[in-house]
């Protein structure tokens, strides 16, 4: 609403009579304030809000249940999982500790059972003897039996108290161990991982997000029930689909509470599982509220507020004479128009003064029409990242004699690709030392096995010679423990001994100094850590020289400098990649099936390589660019982008001519999206409207 004073009102009234009938094709130079005339209409008005979003799968968020360290990662970003699969294993030492506690409890239980059986046998024997006694002797023996039973009961209570403590310790340990294993609660694809390597994490931190692609939802910013109740009409526009008043998929009270407790993301969602719409497709929701049907309305800018009475009025023209003030009563106020309940009729001519857009400048014009729309981003600073890097070592200590690769970075290799030959630096003395090391370890291993077997044999002989049942059972428990230790020793030390044997055999071959051909051993992209040159030393057989990245999936990393644009890349988005594979240009389209902020300066997107495009697997890191199109839709209201303006308050508007006096007025519009050429308009304009841009 406008506030005004009488001198301005009088000036407008005077100017209105001199300006009528001016119909120049171009605006002409004038210093006069020109009134804008408008004919009061009757129809429908409303307020419109636009929200944008995309089609997403059903996302299940899993949170860490305890503090600790991630020791094992069984799956990676983009992998498919089944319900129950273990994704992260934390605090792996807990399993070993709990196993020891469980064995201790089992041993304690077995010993208690032995004592119980022995006591029952003893009491039974005493009762048998009691049956042969009489008088005072019987009374005394009954007392002795009662005391024996009481003493055993006290001992049993003490043992049970100890067992309760052990069981409680085991329960707490198992609970913590269970919380330390992050399992997939459902089938799906991992689209987010908080941790990509072994690291320390905090309780209740988001760990993994799993996507169920069989369910599709259009998701946008979350609205509470009180906000949704204000919306009277909804239209979802996505691709070529236009869905009227789609049903919102609401969260349960339990889901809302869970989201609050764990700070989970919430969305306003529409179920599109039955629709043939691709995941990752962007669209918009047009929310219409404050709908007024078949009402008399006027533009908001024609209303003035009386400084003295706070009443609203318009300036109304009555025939050839202009009436200065017509007080009105209003109803609903919408984006561009206000409902008039009293004071005006359909066909009344009103006017107001607007000198902001009347000048001698020439103007261009365009017509609002239905058109196709899309946005496009091109990323040039793209890098490829891997989290599954196979370590490559020469396997031979010595010096590089020949390199078979044309280059040692960003080159695709197979497992059989020859990388280099190495002249071993192994001497006869090295071989002898490796032989001594193996023989010494073998003697130690054999001696340890002999000692274990000797102890077991001694225990078995002692058990056979024992006369008491309880003693036999206790010795049996000790024998079982020794056998378990023997099995564990054979497994661990046996592997170490085998490695020493292999080293000795290799040294026996390498001591002759014959060149050794080294192959890749893995398929993927080969990248040397440092420069590889003929004559360079490999120092140790296990020295890591390069990494070979597996080609089953890879990551496009978009710099944070493009974060505003890259935020529009989501699960299911299709990206066109242009790159070079071993100096041969390649281009392919791939679908994003996971995305995550992995590093501080790059956002990473896992893209699925098309099965039919095997060359895409060989993509190099350098000279890689990607193009991404989104918000693609057809048959929507569009206008040339240059005609969409923004005022000092941040309101988006266009210039319209609403009379024959060449006066331009502002009309607020709701823009869904805008590219460099056209803007997609949700409200404020109709097809065929003519908009203007002042050409200074």
* Pick from 429, 420, 447: nearest CA to 520: 420
Is the pLDDT at 25 greater than 70? The verdict is no
Number of Cβ within 10 Å of residue 454's Cβ equals 10
Provide the whole-model pTM: 0.65
pLDDT value of position 384: 60
Q: Above 70 in pLDDT, residue 10?
A: no
Residue 236 domain-assigned? no
> What count of other Cβ atoms lies within 10 Å of the Cβ of residue 80?
15
Same domain, 557 and 614: yes
Domain boundary among 148, 179, 210: 179
The dihedral region occupied by 500, where left means phi > 0, alpha psi between -120 and 50, and beta the remainder, is alpha
- Please report which confidence band the pLDDT of residue 6 belongs to, taking 50, 70 and 90 as the band edges: very low
| Phi-psi label, residue 215: left if phi above 0, alpha if psi -120 to 50, beta otherwise | beta
Q: Do residues 580 and 524 share a domain?
A: no
> Is there a single domain that holds both residue 568 and residue 616?
yes
Q: Is residue 190 part of a domain?
A: no
Together in a domain, 535 and 393: yes
Using the 3D structure, point to which of 623, 644, 667 is the last residue of a domain. Answer: 623
Write down the residue that tokens 């599954």 correspond to.
388
Closest CA to 572 of 144, 93, 217: 217
Q: Which domain holds residue 612?
A: 383-387+550-623
Q: Are residues 537 and 593 in the same domain?
A: no
Q: If we measure between CA atoms, which residue out of 270, 367, 300, 285 comes closest to residue 48? A: 285
Q: How confident is the model at residue 556 (pLDDT cuts 50, 70, 90)?
A: low
Under a CB-based contact definition with an 8 Å cutoff, are residues 19 and 187 in contact? Answer: no
Answer yes or no: is 574 within a domain: yes
Check whether residue 108 and residue 131 sit in a common domain: yes
Spatial separation of the C-alpha atoms in residues 572 and 189, rounded to whole Å: 12
Tally of domains in the chain:
3
- Beta-carbon neighbour count of residue 570 at 10 Å? 20
Tell me how many helices (H) and strands (E) the chain has: 8, 40
Confidence of residue 24 (pLDDT cuts 50, 70, 90): very low
On whether residue 108 sits in a domain, the answer given is yes
Residue 486 located in a structural domain? no
Task: Tell me: do 563 and 415 sit in the same domain.
Answer: no
What are the tens digits of pLDDT across the range 648-687?
888 899 988 776 566 778 889 999 999 889 999 999 999 9
Of 8-12, 31-35, 197-201, 572-576, the range with the lowest mean pLDDT is 8-12
Q: Environment class of residue 431 by beta-carbon count within 10 Å: exposed (0-12), middle (13-18) or buried (19+)?
A: buried
Mean pLDDT for the chain overall: 82
What's the whole-number mean pLDDT along residues 296-308?
Answer: 88
The mean pLDDT value for 130-143 works out to 87
Do 517 and 529 belong together in one domain? yes
Q: Are 528 and 566 members of one domain?
A: no
Examine the fold and report which residue of 179, 199, 234 is the final residue of a domain before the chain moves on: 179
Determine the Cα–Cα distance for residues 68 and 394; give it in Å rounded to an integer.
Answer: 36
pLDDT given at position 382: 62
Residue 79 lies in a domain: no
**Whether the Cβ atoms of residue 127 and residue 192 lie closer than 8 Å to each other:** no
Q: Do 541 and 393 share a structural domain?
A: yes
Which tokens hold the place of 385?
């990242």
Q: Report the pLDDT value the prediction gives residue 28, as an integer from 0 to 100.
A: 31
Sequence-ordered alpha helix ranges (H) in 180-284: 225-228, 253-262
Question: Does residue 51 fall inside a structural domain?
Answer: no
Let me know: does 66 contact 177? Beta carbons within 8 Å: no
CA 384 – CA 525 distance, rounded (Å)? 11
Query: Do 110 and 157 fall into the same domain?
Result: yes
Do 104 and 150 sit in the same domain of this protein?
yes
> Is 80 inside a domain boundary?
no
Q: Which residue has the tokens 């908009």?
A: 691
């Amino acid at each position: 609403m406008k506030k005004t004073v009488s001198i301005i009102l009088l000036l407008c009234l005077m100017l209105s009579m001199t300006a009528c009938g001016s119909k120049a094709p171009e605006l002409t130079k004038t210093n006069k304030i020109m009134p804008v005339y408008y004919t009061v209409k009757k129809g429908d008005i409303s307020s419109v809000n636009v929200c944008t979003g995309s089609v997403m799968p059903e996302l299940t968020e899993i949170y860490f249940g305890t503090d600790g360290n991630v020791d094992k990662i069984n799956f990676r970003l983009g992998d498919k999982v089944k319900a129950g699969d273990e994704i992260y294993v934390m605090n792996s030492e807990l399993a070993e500790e709990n196993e020891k506690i469980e064995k201790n409890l089992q041993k304690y239980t077995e010993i208690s059972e032995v004592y119980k059986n022995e006591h029952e046998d003893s009491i039974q024997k005493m009762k048998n003897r009691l049956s042969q006694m009489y008088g005072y002797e019987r009374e005394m023996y009954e007392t002795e039996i009662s005391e024996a039973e009481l003493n055993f009961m006290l001992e049993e209570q003490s043992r049970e108290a100890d067992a309760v403590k052990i069981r409680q310790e085991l329960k707490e340990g198992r609970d913590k161990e269970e919380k330390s294993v992050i399992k997939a609660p459902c089938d799906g694809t991992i689209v987010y991982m908080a941790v990509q390597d072994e690291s320390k994490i905090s309780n209740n931190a988001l760990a993994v997000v799993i996507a169920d692609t069989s369910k599709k939802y259009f998701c946008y910013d979350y609205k509470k029930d009180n906000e949704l109740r204000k919306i009277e009409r909804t239209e979802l526009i996505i691709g070529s689909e236009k869905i009227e008043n789609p049903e919102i998929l609401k969260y349960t009270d339990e889901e809302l509470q869970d989201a609050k407790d764990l700070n989970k993301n919430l969305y306003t969602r529409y179920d599109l599982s039955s629709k043939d719409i691709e995941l990752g497709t962007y669209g918009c929701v047009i929310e219409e509220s404050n709908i007024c049907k078949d009402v008399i309305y006027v533009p908001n800018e024609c209303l003035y507020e009386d400084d003295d009475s706070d009443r609203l009025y318009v300036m109304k023209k009555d025939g050839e004479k202009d009436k200065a003030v017509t007080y009105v009563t209003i109803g609903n106020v919408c984006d561009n128009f206000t409902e008039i309940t009293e004071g005006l009729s359909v066909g009344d001519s009103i006017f107001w003064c607007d000198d902001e857009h009347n000048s001698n400048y020439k103007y261009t014009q365009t017509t609002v029409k239905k058109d196709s729309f899309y946005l496009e981003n091109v990323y040039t600073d793209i890098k490829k990242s891997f989290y599954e890097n196979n370590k490559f070592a020469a396997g031979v200590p010595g010096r590089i004699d020949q390199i078979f690769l044309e280059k040692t970075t960003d080159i695709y290799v197979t497992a059989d690709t020859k990388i280099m030959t190495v002249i071993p630096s192994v001497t006869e003395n090295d071989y002898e030392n490796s032989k001594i090391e193996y023989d010494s370890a073998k003697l130690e291993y054999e001696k340890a096995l002999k000692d274990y077997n000797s102890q077991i044999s001694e225990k078995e002989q002692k058990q056979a010679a024992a006369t008491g049942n309880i003693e036999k059972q206790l010795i049996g428990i000790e024998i079982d423990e020794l056998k378990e230790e023997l099995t564990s020793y054979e497994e661990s030390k046996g592997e170490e001994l085998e490695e020493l044997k292999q080293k000795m055999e290799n040294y026996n071959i390498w001591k002759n100094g014959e060149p050794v051909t080294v192959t890749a051993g893995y398929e993927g992209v080969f990248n040397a850590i440092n420069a590889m040159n003929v004559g360079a030393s490999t120092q140790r057989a296990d020295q890591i020289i390069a990494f070979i990245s597996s080609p089953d999936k890879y990551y496009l990393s978009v710099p944070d400098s493009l974060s505003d644009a890259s935020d529009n890349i989501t699960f299911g988005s299709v990206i066109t990649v242009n790159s070079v594979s071993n100096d041969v240009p390649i281009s392919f389209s791939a679908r994003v099936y996971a995305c995550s902020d992995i590093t501080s300066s790059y956002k990473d997107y896992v893209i699925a390589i098309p099965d039919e495009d095997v060359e895409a697997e060989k993509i190099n890191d350098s000279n890689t660019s990607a193009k991404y199109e989104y918000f693609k839709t057809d048959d929507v209201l569009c206008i040339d982008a240059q005609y969409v303006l923004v005022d000092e308050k941040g309101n988006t508007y266009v210039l319209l001519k609403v009379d024959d006096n060449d006066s331009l007025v502002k009309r607020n519009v709701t823009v869904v999206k805008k590219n460099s050429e056209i803007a997609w308009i949700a409200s404020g304009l109709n097809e065929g409207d003519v908009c203007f841009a002042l050409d200074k």
